[in-house]
Amino acid sequence: AQSVAQPEDQVNVAEGNPLTVKCTYSVSGNPYLFWYVQYPNRGLQFLLKYITGDNLVKGSYGFEAEFNKSQTSFHLKKPSALVSDSALYFCAVRPSALNTGFQKLVFGTGTRLLVSP
Amino acid sequence: DTAVSQTPKYLVTQMGNDKSIKCEQNLGHDTMYWYKQDSKKFLKIMFSYNNKELIINETVPNRFSPKSPDKAHLNLHINSLELGDSAVYFCASSQVKAGELFFGEGSRLTVL
């Protein structure tokens, strides 16, 4: 069964500084990897995904993530944080193998990002 | 235009009551889901339907019964509500091959 670990409950960063939110995964075969953001009292919004190809994936709001197969990681990054980036971030994984039928997307426990002015 | 819409947004009810949450998506997706987010923000899948057929049914009490009248709608009915059912319930949809889910705004259920 697949699983996702987000080792940090909270990440604090000053506005203008680079940010990294960590994610490691475990899945049989090749993974489909996702990042979502949740603002207070809102649903989850899709940020970016890795399916195949270039290990560096660019997404919404200036975020990007790097897929590292050897380290089974998919860390979320942004070169310059904004106060408005403060939110709850979820990493998610599912297997890519289509011949195994429908696969559920499994989420990590979430990391709260706080960007201070 | 709302892509995935859920109603109601808030439900407050007494233990033992029955309640329903409705979900509709206008994205043309073939797969819909119910997720539960608890007070610690953990997200857990409950059910998934593909073209009106149940394809994922996690370990969920029988008191929870999903129904998909067509592929654009997925409703959740909960019988005999318990305190532990208090959570935010999210509906989502996707095209199964693409993978990413589109979420509704959530329905916050409070059982007193």
Tens-place pLDDT, residues A4-24? 999 999 999 999 999 999 999
- pLDDT score of B55: 85
B68-101 as b/e: b if 16+ CB within 10 A: beebbbbbbebeebeeebbbbbbbbbbebeebbb
- Mean pLDDT of all residues belonging to chain A: 92
Radius of gyration of chain B from its Cα atoms, rounded to whole angstroms: 13
Positions in chain A whose pLDDT score sits under 50: 99
Mutation choice for A interface testing from B32, B58, B101, B110 by most A CBs within 10 A: B101
- pLDDT score of B1: 67
Tens-place pLDDT, residues B59-92? 789 999 999 999 999 999 999 999 999 999 999 9
Radius of gyration of chain A from its Cα atoms, rounded to whole angstroms: 14
- pLDDT score of A108: 95
DSSP string, B69-98: EETTEEEEEE-S--GGG-EEEEEEEE-TTT
Whether residue B8 has a cis bond before it, omega within 30° of 0: yes
Tens-place pLDDT, residues B4-62? 999 999 999 999 999 999 999 999 998 999 999 999 999 999 999 988 888 888 878 99
- Residue B3, φ and ψ in degrees, nearest 5: -80, -50
The chain B residue lying nearest A35, using CA atoms, is B100
Contacts of B30 in chain A (CB under 8 A): none
The chain B residue lying nearest A40, using CA atoms, is B105
